[in-house]
Structure 1
Amino acid sequence: MIIPDMKSFARLISLFLVLLFFFLFPFGSRAQEITGNVSVSEAGRWADSVYTSLTLEERIGQLIFMRANHSGSGYIKNNGDLIKQYNLGGIVFFAGDPVKQALKANEWNRLPKTPLLFAMDAEWGLGMRLKNTVKYPLQMTLGAISNDSLIYRMGRQIGQQCRRIGIQMNLAPVVDVNNNPLNPVIGMRSFGQSPQSVARKGYFYMKGLQDEGVIACAKHFPGHGDTQTDSHLTLPVLNKSKRELRSVELVPFNYLIKNGVASVMVAHLSVPAYEKRKNRPATLSEKIVTRLLKNKMGFKGLVVTDGLDMKGVTKYFKKEDIALEAFKAGNDILLIPEDIPASVKAIMEAVKSGKIKPEHLAGSCKKILRYKYMSGAYLRKMTDTANLIPNLNKYEYNALAPKIFEKAVTIVKNDDNLLPLSHPDTLNTAILIMGDTSESELEKPFWQVMQTTVFRLDHDAGVDERQEVLGKLEGFNLVIIAVVNTNISAPKHFGISESDIQFIQHIARIKNVVLDVFASP
């Protein structure tokens, strides 16, 4: 990336970190089955049979998916008692160890009357949550590749790994459009800023998962990309008109719904265009969940709330009311409510009093049971931990991730067509590494094709250190600047300091510069 005149480094970084491709080819509208060998009618018969055998309390319990653990902490001690008492529907796992997770899942799955369904966030693979497992590229990196079959292959591999460890539902892909660079929670989790590209790439990821029998989940409806606050911490406002939402945020959801995504997660967002009541999140809005998502957009799959313990919903509603309000709004799966006994009690009282119709409960409970059948969760299969780690780290798994990274490398600018370098052995080249003062692997390829001198600076290098390097660059006619040790946070400027930006700008005004930003993506 040649930058003789860097007038706006910040703008350049933004360009580097967004999707550069804009294309969409039509797909058919045929719904994708989760597994090709499962009969929908068989799933329906099994669901009807199980539903008939359950008490009212046990039917309500099927709606609730509890938290297994807090990231980095042990498994919650009284979970087993709650699973057994209320016949809970499922468990959501967070950060941990693969073998310990499998053993705990086996233990818990022996307890309830109805087999559990296990879920986790594995947006970039099991490595997002579990030690000693494969980490695939974040979704914005996937947004920079042109060969979407690689995304499909990744989806299938993640699906295989989920099934091996006993996970039937991956709460992915994220199909939020990344149209606000100040967003603190989506950013690199998005495929990019083009609604059509997000839709296409989300489809390939979803299809890969579901072709392996894993329930995919498009999130965060109706779109968390254009917000400046984090729904884990507060209630963000998506202040757009219905027309704007239809033309951007809703495009990927519409596309995945038409192509058979099994579930959609509703976000804790205030969306005044559809819900006028102040501080009422989309998760608790019948107008958004039922009228928009289910009726107008025609979604027939599982509707899942975002975590009901998040501040985006607990800030304005009592914990004993949240699950009830979410169910009344039209959600099927009530994800990790803070108080499970109070949640079950509130819904039970609403059913008994007639505030919730019996057919509403039957519809959601049977739908969850059907997906348990179609995903294989109904088998209550115990996960074998023998060779689990090797099985999750097969050669083909570890080979795909580097290939995707390689295909994602993007040239943002190439002024004067200096790239590719002609006759590099004739150039007097310096390499400046910013962000690390130790020798790194990225230097070695240059030594094979040219003679170079390497300079290194920390991000917080002082004025004297920078001036010393600047003086030593005088005799070179090409400077390759590598910016390393960045982060994925746009609000934190990706870990690149203002002094770094100014220093690079100064060098670019007096030298030919190749700027390589080693970031994600």
Structure 2
Amino acid sequence: MNYGYFIETGIPGDDIENIKKFLSKLRPMHIILMRGNFSNKRELASLISKINKFYINDLKLNRPVFSIDQEGGNVIRISDIDYLPSNYCLGFINKADISRMAGLITGSELRSIGILWNHAPVLDLLESPKNPVILERSFGKNSKKVSKLGKSYINGLQSAGVAATAKHFPGHGSVIEDSHLTMPVDNRNINEIKTSMMPFVSAINSGVKSIMLSHVLYSSIDDVPASLSKRINDILRRDLNFTGVSVTDSIDMKALSSNFSIREIAMRSNADIIESVDPETSIELMDFIKVKDINRDSYKRIINLVPDDYIKMPDKGMSFISYMCVKKFRGKYLSRDIETDIIFMPNISRTLVETGRIDYKNVISMLKKRIKRINIFDYENYNGSARQVIIIGRNLHIKNYELKDLTFKKRSFYISTGINCDINNVPGGTGYISCFSTKPESVYLAILRAFGLI
């Protein structure tokens, strides 16, 4: 048996010869791609092609399944393809057909590169607006809405021939700790947890190909996190009748790596596939997978992971979704004839799963063609004196941060790129726009809205 079917691994860097050496040793059949493996879409497509040829010609194996975290919004790995502004944006629109279109576009973009498994969508309920781990990754807090939109997104993604992953079962939305850094503990009772499961039940009934188990410990169910819990596996398989592939969140996250040995993780996990982003951890993990009693049903599920059929890429892109999500909640439009300072604040409360600093150079270039008298500043270096100010930021509500010093005696707008909770931290005389995304296109449209241009 090829034990590579039961592991999903990251690969070391972007040097193809080093990657080949690693793959020769491990022979994994699932490879998760991270930002450190490529710089752009073209490089990524080339890397995938080279690995596929290496598997067929040198290793005499089938092509591996490539996976990625391309959720949209603040969690993307490929920035130069058309991607979703955010799940929260879809929740704001709240139309099933648009969520399906977002999934279809995402899947078509990924399949064109050679990626057939996307670790999306997040089906966690946003049960606390101060949860820095979930925020705009969620469709919202209402279980029925999240179920409807999640199901539609999954349908679109899998119609494009890319396996979807409903995550993080049985729900990560009620804990504010980040499992990259520590083990979150959910102390709710079983009935409350069942409410969080509703979107996953909907996804299962709609044929989702895979479900990712969280590293949260649910104290009313078990004394180990979901990714290692037999009881939660029984709920998933026996009670909810899930017949697709189960996969852990990455085991190099501190929730597991600080509390369990790799041997314990390998032996205790009931998931079909164990994910390890760190290549060195994957090598050690494989040693224990080889001596583990493998469930034959896991292999049958795994080989049916990728959808057999797919439909053509739609002509429509994501721009219309970005446009629909730009909402002005208050304020009078700014004047194009008055000099304006645009201030980019640092991302407050960024989590490890999020994309790095966004490059807004193209946004600035496009703006200067439409609005002549603008000055661009980082928040840390702001020393402007214009009579109009636009501040772009997110998550002020988490740190209870206020903007009085930037907006004093000036015509101003605050553009929120996160969930719509910063409004109470912005002075009442300051206009307020939400675009629910750090995507450059969304920010560009929000700035145009501040001037009344859209």
Structure 1 stretches of at least 4 aligned residues deviating more than 6 Å after TM superposition: 429-434, 436-447, 453-458, 501-504
* Contact kept in structure 2, 1:320 and 1:339, CA below 8 Å: no
Partner residue in 2 for 1:401 = 318
Partner residue in 2 for 1:152 = 100
Partner residue in 2 for 1:264 = 211
How many angstroms apart in 2 are the aligned matches of 1:512 and 1:303?
48
How many angstroms apart in 2 are the aligned matches of 1:81 and 1:269?
34
State the Cα distance separating 1:291 from its structure 2 match.
1.4
> Structure 1 residues 369, 171: CA separation in 2 closer, same or farther (over 3 Å shift)?
same
* Contact kept in structure 2, 1:143 and 1:198, CA below 8 Å: yes
2:285 is the counterpart of 1:343: yes
| Partner secondary structure for residue 104 of structure 2 | helix
2:12 is the counterpart of 1:61: no
2:394 is the counterpart of 1:487: yes
The aligned amino acid for 2:282 is I
State the Cα distance separating 1:321 from its structure 2 match.
2.9
Segments of 5+ residues of structure 2 without an aligned counterpart are 346-362, 414-422, 438-454
How many angstroms apart in 2 are the aligned matches of 1:150 and 1:485?
26
How many angstroms apart in 1 are the aligned matches of 2:73 and 2:433?
24
Q: Deviations over 1:163-222 (max 9, x none)?
A: 110011011011111111221221111111211111111111111011111101111111
The aligned amino acid for 2:62 is T
State the Cα distance separating 1:265 from its structure 2 match.
0.5
> Structure 1 residues 492, 102: CA separation in 2 closer, same or farther (over 3 Å shift)?
farther
* Contact kept in structure 1, 2:169 and 2:214, CA below 8 Å: yes
How many angstroms apart in 1 are the aligned matches of 2:251 and 2:205?
27
State the Cα distance separating 1:516 from its structure 2 match.
2.3
Which of 179, 184, 196 is residue 231 of structure 1 equivalent to? 179
Matches within 5 A, 1:299-378: 299-326=242-269, 330-336=270-276, 338-351=280-293, 360-372=294-306, 374=308
State the Cα distance separating 1:316 from its structure 2 match.
0.2
Which of 178, 197, 222 is residue 250 of structure 1 equivalent to? 197
Matches within 5 A, 1:289-304: 290-304=233-247
Which of 284, 307, 331 is residue 228 of structure 2 equivalent to? 284
How many angstroms apart in 2 are the aligned matches of 1:444 and 1:238?
50
How many angstroms apart in 2 are the aligned matches of 1:207 and 1:82?
35
State the Cα distance separating 1:502 from its structure 2 match.
8.7
Q: Deviations over 1:341-386 (max 9, x none)?
A: 43232233333xxxxxxxx53111222112257379xxxxxxxxxx
State the Cα distance separating 1:411 from its structure 2 match.
5.6
2:30 is the counterpart of 1:87: no
Which of 172, 175, 188 is residue 123 of structure 2 equivalent to? 175
How many angstroms apart in 2 are the aligned matches of 1:123 and 1:207?
15
Which of 410, 435, 459 is residue 343 of structure 2 equivalent to? 435
Partner residue in 2 for 1:187 = 135
Q: Deviations over 1:270-318 (max 9, x none)?
A: 110111x2xx221011111x21111111111010111111111101011
* Contact kept in structure 2, 1:127 and 1:136, CA below 8 Å: no
> Structure 1 residues 371, 444: CA separation in 2 closer, same or farther (over 3 Å shift)?
closer
| Partner secondary structure for residue 435 of structure 1 | strand
Partner residue in 1 for 2:416 = none
* Contact kept in structure 2, 1:304 and 1:335, CA below 8 Å: yes
Which of 433, 443, 447 is residue 517 of structure 1 equivalent to? 433
* Contact kept in structure 2, 1:436 and 1:484, CA below 8 Å: yes
| Partner secondary structure for residue 65 of structure 1 | strand
How many angstroms apart in 1 are the aligned matches of 2:209 and 2:245?
6
CA RMSD of aligned residues (A): 4.1
How many angstroms apart in 2 are the aligned matches of 1:440 and 1:367?
49
Q: Deviations over 1:467-513 (max 9, x none)?
A: x96xxxxxxxxxxx8753213575346x7646458989x999xx995
State the Cα distance separating 1:86 from its structure 2 match.
4.1
Structure with higher helix content = 1
> Structure 1 residues 74, 85: CA separation in 2 closer, same or farther (over 3 Å shift)?
closer
How many angstroms apart in 1 are the aligned matches of 2:187 and 2:139?
22
How many angstroms apart in 1 are the aligned matches of 2:307 and 2:188?
39
How many angstroms apart in 2 are the aligned matches of 1:214 and 1:263?
11
> Structure 1 residues 223, 184: CA separation in 2 closer, same or farther (over 3 Å shift)?
same
* Contact kept in structure 2, 1:176 and 1:223, CA below 8 Å: yes
> Structure 1 residues 85, 434: CA separation in 2 closer, same or farther (over 3 Å shift)?
closer
Structure with more relative contact order (C-alpha pairs < 8 Å, separation 6 or more): 1
| Partner secondary structure for residue 61 of structure 2 | coil
The aligned amino acid for 1:520 is F
* Contact kept in structure 2, 1:488 and 1:519, CA below 8 Å: no
How many angstroms apart in 2 are the aligned matches of 1:234 and 1:256?
28
Q: Deviations over 1:70-120 (max 9, x none)?
A: xxx535865433433443221000123222222222232323523311111
Segments of 5+ residues of structure 1 without an aligned counterpart are 1-54, 352-359, 377-390, 448-452, 470-480
> Structure 1 residues 454, 217: CA separation in 2 closer, same or farther (over 3 Å shift)?
closer
How many angstroms apart in 2 are the aligned matches of 1:485 and 1:127?
19
Q: Give the TM-score normalised by the residue count of structure 1.
A: 0.65
* Contact kept in structure 2, 1:483 and 1:518, CA below 8 Å: no
* Contact kept in structure 2, 1:234 and 1:311, CA below 8 Å: yes
| Partner secondary structure for residue 178 of structure 1 | coil
* Contact kept in structure 2, 1:143 and 1:197, CA below 8 Å: yes
| Partner secondary structure for residue 181 of structure 1 | coil
The aligned amino acid for 2:210 is S
| Partner secondary structure for residue 47 of structure 2 | helix
* Contact kept in structure 2, 1:137 and 1:404, CA below 8 Å: yes
The aligned amino acid for 2:281 is D
Q: Give the TM-score normalised by the residue count of structure 2.
A: 0.74
How many angstroms apart in 1 are the aligned matches of 2:376 and 2:147?
41
The aligned amino acid for 2:230 is E
> Structure 1 residues 440, 82: CA separation in 2 closer, same or farther (over 3 Å shift)?
closer
Q: Deviations over 1:433-491 (max 9, x none)?
A: 773699998899999xxxxx9999986799x999x96xxxxxxxxxxx87532135753
The number of residues matched between the two structures is 396
* Contact kept in structure 1, 2:89 and 2:435, CA below 8 Å: no
* Contact kept in structure 1, 2:168 and 2:212, CA below 8 Å: yes
| Partner secondary structure for residue 370 of structure 1 | coil
Matches within 5 A, 1:110-149: 110=55, 111=59, 113-124=61-72, 128-149=76-97
